[in-house]
């Protein structure tokens, strides 16, 4: 067991800081020996039935992503893409989770170029050279699957292509950093280290999240090393998303106060995002939202967004 700091979460799983929980007992030798200590169960840990529910939701959500990728091209309106997602989801007996969520008016989020996240589909057409993120969440038998992918539209310049590729790689590095009974902070540390080495910034205002029968729940998954939220322990059975938003310029963001949803880069530089839903298992992270035709780990985006 690693040495705990005073402000780390206690090893017992109480959710309290170590200094407020077992620190004095450990110092007095009154606790169990380190090798016998076990983290207490978390209500967020799914049993096998719950895990299978999340696998079904993730698999269907990936199916929706593969469906919509064939329609992402210059000249199509973003609200037309949204309608396709809406119809396909309902036709297959699932529910588009974003529609009506806290008043959100559409069945997916579509964020182009300098929009970081939560872009509302409208009558704007995709243009040659755009990068566009499509964020999909489906409810299947009460379970939520959530993912996003950034697409290259037509002839994209090198700056945009390199950003998309680096964002994709940063997501995988974050997933790889997640370990059974490891801490959330390792995810953000891996993502930010890579992004900063590439000369990019990491959005701090928006993060990944726990997911299950609830769209957004604990744990929060910052994409930078947040040493407060980052102390959460990822026990087997916990589901969460890893969804880094990486900017060419400044990391800061700006909310559109007119619609209350659309988030822009503050300096209007390009932003990209990728997201997967992840189940922590006893053997490590299991990706629940892998598509059949989307980019795989190590994908070369010079050939386009599809693999």
Tell me: the pLDDT tens digits for 272-298? 999 999 999 999 999 999 999 999 999
Domain extent, residue 215, equals 42-303
Residue 304, pLDDT score: 46
Residues 86 and 230 occupy one common structural domain: yes
Looking at the structure of the chain, the number of domains it has is 2
Residues 113, 20 share a domain: no
pLDDT band with cut points at 50, 70 and 90 for residue 138: very high
**Does residue 50 register a pLDDT over 50?**
yes
How far apart are alpha carbons 22 and 17 in whole angstroms?
A: 9
Q: Is residue 23 predicted with pLDDT exceeding 80?
A: no
pLDDT at 1: 39
Q: What are phi and psi of 157, to 5 degrees?
A: -75, 170
pTM of the model: 0.87
Band of pLDDT at residue 13, cut at 50, 70 and 90: low
Average pLDDT over residues 92-104: 98
Read off the pLDDT of each residue in 39-65 and give the average, rounded to a whole number: 93
Tell me the average pLDDT of the chain: 92
Residues 88 and 35 in one domain: no
Give yes or no for residue 37 having a pLDDT over 80.
Answer: no
The dihedral over CA atoms of 249, 254, 255, 256, expressed in degrees to the nearest 10, equals -90
Pair (50, 152) in one structural domain: yes
* Co-location of 70 and 152 in the same domain: yes
pLDDT (mean) for 27-54 = 76
Instruction: Report DSSP state, residue 177.
Output: H
Q: What is the mean pLDDT of residues 200-225?
A: 97
Q: Is residue 154 domain-shared with residue 263, that is, in the same domain?
A: yes
The pLDDT of residue 120: 98
Q: Do 123 and 24 reside in the same domain of the chain?
A: no
Closest among 83, 99, 81 to 138, alpha carbons compared: 99
Average pLDDT rounded to a whole number, residues 248-262: 97
Burial classification of residue 153, based on how many CB atoms lie within 10 Å of its CB (0-12 exposed, 13-18 middle, 19 or more buried): buried
Place of tokens 């106060």: 257
* Helix%, strand%, coil% for the chain, nearest 5: 30, 25, 45
Inform me whether the pLDDT recorded for 39 exceeds 80: no
Average the pLDDT over 237-253 and give the result: 98
Indicate if the pLDDT at residue 3 is higher than 90: no
pLDDT at 306 over 50: no
Based on the fold, state whether residues 24 and 50 are members of the same structural domain: no
Provide mean pLDDT across the span 224-247: 95
Band of residue 2 on the pLDDT scale cut at 50, 70, 90: very low
CATH number of the domain to which 239 belongs: 3.90.230.10
Radius of gyration of the chain (CA): 20
Residue 307 pLDDT > 60: no
Note the residue count of the chain.
Answer: 307
> For position 33, what pLDDT does the model report?
59
**d(C-alpha 111, C-alpha 306), whole Å:** 18
Burial 274-290 (b: 16+ CB within 10 A, else e): bbbbbbbeeeebbbbbb
Name which of 12-21, 72-81, 293-302 the model is least confident about: 12-21
The percentage of the chain sitting over the pLDDT mark of 90, rounded to a whole number, equals 82
Helix (H, G, I), strand (E, B) or coil at 286: strand
78 & 14 share domain: no
Residues 26 and 153 in one domain: no
- For residues 31 and 79, state if they share a domain: no
111-115, 227-231, 234-238, 277-281: range with lowest mean pLDDT: 227-231
- 34 shares its domain with 142: no
Burial class (CB in 10 A: 0-12, 13-18, 19+), 126: buried
């Amino acid at each position: 067991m690693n040495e705990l700091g005073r402000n780390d979460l206690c090893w017992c799983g109480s959710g309290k800081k170590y200094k407020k929980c077992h620190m004095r007992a450990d110092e007095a030798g009154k606790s169990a020996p380190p090798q016998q200590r076990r983290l207490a169960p978390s209500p967020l840990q799914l049993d096998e039935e719950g895990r299978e529910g999340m696998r079904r939701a993730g698999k269907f959500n990936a199916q929706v992503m593969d469906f919509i990728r064939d329609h992402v091209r210059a000249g199509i309106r973003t609200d037309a893409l949204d309608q396709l997602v809406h119809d396909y989801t309902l036709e297959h007996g699932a529910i588009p989770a974003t529609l009506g969520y806290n008043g959100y008016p559409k069945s997916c989020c579509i964020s182009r170029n300098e929009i970081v996240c939560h872009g509302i589909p409208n009558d704007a057409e995709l243009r040659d050279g755009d990068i566009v993120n499509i964020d999909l969440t489906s409810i299947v038998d009460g379970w939520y699957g959530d993912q996003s992918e950034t697409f290259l539209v037509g002839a994209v310049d090198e700056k945009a292509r390199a950003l998309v590729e680096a964002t994709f790689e940063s997501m995988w590095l974050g997933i790889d950093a997640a370990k059974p009974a490891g801490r959330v902070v390792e995810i953000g540390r891996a993502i930010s280290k890579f992004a900063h080495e590439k000369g990019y910034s990491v959005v701090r205002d928006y993060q990944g999240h726990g997911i299950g029968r609830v769209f957004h729940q604990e744990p929060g998954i910052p994409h930078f090393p947040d040493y407060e939220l980052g102390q959460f322990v990822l026990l087997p059975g916990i589901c969460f998303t890893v969804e880094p938003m990486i900017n060419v310029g400044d990391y800061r963001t700006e909310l559109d106060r007119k619609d209350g949803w659309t988030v822009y880069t503050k300096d209007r530089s390009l932003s990209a995002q990728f997201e997967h839903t992840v189940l922590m298992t006893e053997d490590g992270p299991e990706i629940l939202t892998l598509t059949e035709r989307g980019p795989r780990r190590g994908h070369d985006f010079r050939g386009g967004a599809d693999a």
